[in-house]
C-alpha cells in the first residue's frame, strides 16, 4: 500500500487536487467560527488538497502522511507557508510524536482510513481519540458498503479501449471478490475495488456499524453527511443510503 502512494505518478495526481468535496465544504462551514482557535491534525494529507482550504483558517496546522513522497510534495507545494503550517510523516496507528490531547480538530479525508486492515483501523481510531482533545472534533470519510454493487456497473464508452477496460474490470472484480451480494449483509468487508488499477484493497462498512465502531473508540455526537450532496443524513433513514459511494462522519471526542 505504501509503495502505491510513493509512486511518482500517484503523488503528482494528488498534488494537482485542490477542491473540497461537498461534505468537506459543509464541515468547514459548520466549524468556521471555531477554526481560528483550533490546532488541526490533517492525517493522510496526500498532496495538500485539504491544506489549501483549512490551513489558512486554523491556529496551527499539522499535515501528516504515511508516504514520505507525499510529505515532500506538500513541503514543495507550500514552500512559502506561514509558520503555523507544518508537515511530517506519521502512521495513524502509532502517532507517538504527539502527546495526548494535542489537537482540537482531526481530519482523515478521502477514505484514507480505508487503506488499512480492520484491526489496524481500530488502532487508528483509538490513536486519533488519544491525540484529540476532549470536546474536540474528528471528521473522516469511509466507503459505504451499501453502495458496493455500483462498483460492478459497466460504463459503456464509445471509445473501444475504455469499454474493453470496463469489461475487463468487471470480470476482475468478480474474480478477486466474488459478486457484490456476497458482501452486502456483512458489517464490513475488504475488497479490491479497482482503485489505482487494482493496486489497493479497500474497506467498506455499513453506516450503522461505523457508528458503533466510533462509539466503542470513544467518540460521540456522531453526524453523517452525503458525499453526493453534502447534506446531513437522517440517522433514521440509513437503510436508504445506497447511492453514496462513501459517507463523511463528524463526531466529538469524549
Per-residue pLDDT reduced to its tens digit, 80-128: 999 999 999 999 999 999 999 999 999 999 999 999 999 999 999 999 9
- Residue 54, C-alpha cell as written in the block: 483549512
Strand partners, 87: 63
* pLDDT (0 to 100) of residue 2: 66
> Smallest Cα–Cα separation from 206: which of 238, 248, 232, 234?
238
Q: Are 209 and 102 in contact (CB under 8 A)?
A: no
Residue 2 C-alpha from the chain's centroid = 15
Domains parsed from the chain with CATH numbers: 2-144+206-253 (3.40.50.150), 147-198 (no CATH)
Contact assessment for residue 135 and residue 236, using Cβ atoms and an 8 Å cutoff: no
Q: How many residues does the chain have?
A: 254
Give the whole-angstrom CA distance, residue 86 versus residue 72: 11
CA distance 71 to 62: 11
pTM, entire model: 0.95
Residues of the chain with pLDDT under 70: 1-2
DSSP state of 1: -
Report the pLDDT value the prediction gives residue 189, as an integer from 0 to 100: 98
pLDDT of residue 30: 98
Amino acid at each position: 500500500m505504501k509503495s502505491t502512494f510513493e509512486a511518482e505518478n500517484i503523488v503528482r495526481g494528488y498534488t494537482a487536487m485542490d477542491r473540497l468535496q461537498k461534505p468537506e465544504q459543509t464541515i468547514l462551514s459548520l466549524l468556521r467560527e471555531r477554526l481560528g482557535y483550533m490546532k488541526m491534525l490533517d492525517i493522510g494529507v496526500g498532496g495538500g488538497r485539504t491544506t489549501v482550504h483549512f490551513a489558512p483558517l486554523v491556529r496551527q496546522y499539522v499535515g501528516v502522511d504515511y508516504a514520505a513522497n507525499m510529505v515532500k510534495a506538500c513541503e514543495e507545494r507550500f514552500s512559502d507557508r506561514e509558520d503555523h503550517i507544518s508537515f511530517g510523516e506519521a502512521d495513524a496507528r502509532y502517532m507517538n510524536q504527539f502527546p495526548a490531547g494535542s489537537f482540537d480538530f482531526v481530519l482523515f479525508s478521502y477514505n484514507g482510513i480505508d487503506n488499512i486492515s480492520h484491526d489496524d483501523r481500530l488502532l487508528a481510531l483509538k490513536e486519533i481519540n488519544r491525540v484529540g482533545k476532549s470536546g474536540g472534533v474528528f471528521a473522516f470519510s469511509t466507503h459505504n458498503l451499501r453502495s458496493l454493487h455500483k462498483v460492478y456497473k459497466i460504463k459503456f464508452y464509445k471509445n473501444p479501449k475504455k469499454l474493453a477496460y470496463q469489461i475487463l474490470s468487471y470480470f476482475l472484480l468478480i474474480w478477486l471478490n466474488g459478486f457484490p451480494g456476497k458482501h452486502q449483509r456483512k458489517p464490513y468487508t475488504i475488497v479490491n475495488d479497482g482503485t489505482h488499477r487494482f493496486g489497493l484493497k479497500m474497506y467498506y462498512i455499513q453506516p450503522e456499524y461505523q457508528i458503533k465502531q466510533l462509539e466503542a473508540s470513544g467518540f460521540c455526537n456522531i453526524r453523517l453527511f452525503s458525499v453526493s450532496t453534502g447534506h446531513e443524513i437522517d440517522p433514521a433513514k440509513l437503510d436508504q443510503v445506497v447511492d453514496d459511494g462513501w459517507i463523511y462522519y463528524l463526531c466529538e471526542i469524549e
